[in-house]
Structure 1
Amino acid sequence: MPAPPVGEAKAKDAFAALVAKPVSLPDMVLGSAKAPVTITEYSSMSCPHCAAFGQNVFPMLRSKYIDTGKVRFVFREFPLDIKAAAASMLARCIADGDAEKYFGTVQLLFQQQEQLMAQTRNTLILIGKQAGMSEQAVETCEKDQTLLDKLAADQRFALDVVKVDSTPTFFVNGERLKGAMSFEELEAKVKSLLKR
């Protein structure tokens, strides 16, 4: 296959750099900073396909590629509704910058997705309590306008600049892949990049 024209390659690199840069909120990342492949997922806590990926595909991806240093995984919030935004805010408050805590909370939120949609406040309080937060601390987190503004700014950037318009959307080394991905599809993409 011939190499893409220089202009096209430069544009692709510039786009990959845009995707790679956190906007308002610090990125939640697992894996080595030196990993040859970076997967960035835009996800909503209210999206069933995102929950399915989080519960079925992500654990395999993590054990085979993230924990072995081959893939760096970046999780970005793209809340499709106010319930998803509230869940994202809680995950951020619980984690307090700790990626492991953050990913653990996201997994819990995905497992409780039906309850989260049906009884949002009670589910958030329950998950907060499991993480050692008081009901008051959960309420305070949910009223944090600065956090909500940053979440909204990041979402606007994703929508306007990197053209995310649905969840899940993945970027694998800057290449956009929309929709639900099976482990096999994602692995094929990762393997092709690891061969380069």
Structure 2
Amino acid sequence: MILTRRTFSALLSMTGLVALAGLSPLRLIGSAFAQSQSAADVAKPSPLGDMALGPENASVTIVEYASMTCPHCAAFTTEVFPKLKAAYIDTGKVRFIFREFPLDLVAAAGSMMARCIAKNDAQKYFAVVDVLFKQQTDWVVKNPIEPLKRIGKQAGLSDEAFNACLKDQAILDGIKATQDHATDKLKVNSTPSFFVNGTLVKGETSFEGFQKLIDPLLKA
């Protein structure tokens, strides 16, 4: 099925949206990971523009691919990311890039809303993503639209703007293109997936695990 504004809007109106996760047009293909990835392929930004924290000239760049409905992604954001931010990002040692990799239509809706609220403001984007992950169990439900709207209102997004956001084909296409690139070029097939200066780190990883990867790169 080709993901278009018409099909996406129709699916969003269905009460059984979450049940369609396995039939999502954003469904992954392939399962093999390459041993190494092209630095240029990892560095290629989202068509919507990368959302990043930390200086561009940082010694280490971490790229995360995450789905807003992924519980392991939520655990990383709430438990590990604050430590990474304090120790490495806020100190200018690491640049952290978050890229959307929705595993289902509900995740796509959450990602679209975050983009609409933040526009080009990375700080605001990360704040919205943080709220969505922390409140994941509240909106990843059978009828996700109303709880998503409530979260959007807290960030200043009106019902009218929310509805317009989920009909914005350009945003949806950008998210889909980001996922396609990760799947086809980087062989990402699960979330969260991280690239630390191009080295793949697959799955939920502890702060200490990241330390072991980051610290040698800072000394190099």
TM over 0.5: yes
**1:88 is aligned to 2:91:** no
Which residue of structure 2 lines up, in the alignment, with residue 35 of structure 1? 58
CA distance in 1, matches of 2:46, 2:127: 23
Tell me whether 1:116 sits opposite 2:139 in the alignment.
yes
Output the CA distance in 1 between the equivalents of 2:135 and 2:106.
Answer: 13
**Does 2:184 align with 1:160?**
yes
TM-aligned CA distance change 1:66 to 1:147, over 3 Å: same
Structure 2: distance between partners of 1:120 and 1:112: 12
Q: Which amino acid aligns with 2:47?
A: S
SS in 2 for 1:80: coil
CA RMSD of aligned residues (A): 1.3
- Quote the residue 1:19 is aligned against: 42
Q: Which amino acid aligns with 1:24?
A: P
Instruction: Work out the CA distance in 1 between the residues paired with 2:125 and 2:149.
Output: 16
User: Runs of at least 4 residues of structure 1 off by over 6 A?
Assistant: none
1:125 alignment counterpart: 149
TM-score, reference length from structure 1: 0.91
Structure 1 stretch displaced more, 14-23 or 29-38 = 14-23
Task: State how many pairs are aligned.
Answer: 185
Give the stretch that moved more between structures: 138-147 or 75-84.
138-147
Contact 1:16 1:175 survives alignment (8 Å)? no
In structure 1, list runs of 5 or more residues that go unmatched. Answer: 1-10
Q: Does 1:178 align with 2:202?
A: yes
Describe the superposition over 1:35-54 as per-residue Cα deviations: whole angstroms up to 9, x where unpaired.
Answer: 10000000000000000000
Instruction: Pick which of 17-26 and 167-176 moved more.
Output: 17-26
Sequence identity (%): 56
What is the Cα deviation at residue 23 of structure 1? 3.7
The partner residue of 1:144 within 145, 148, 168 is 168
Kindly indicate whether residue 86 of structure 2 is the aligned counterpart of residue 63 of structure 1: yes
Alpha-carbon distance in 1 for matches of 2:65, 2:46: 13
Q: Which moved more, 1:113-122 or 1:67-76?
A: 113-122
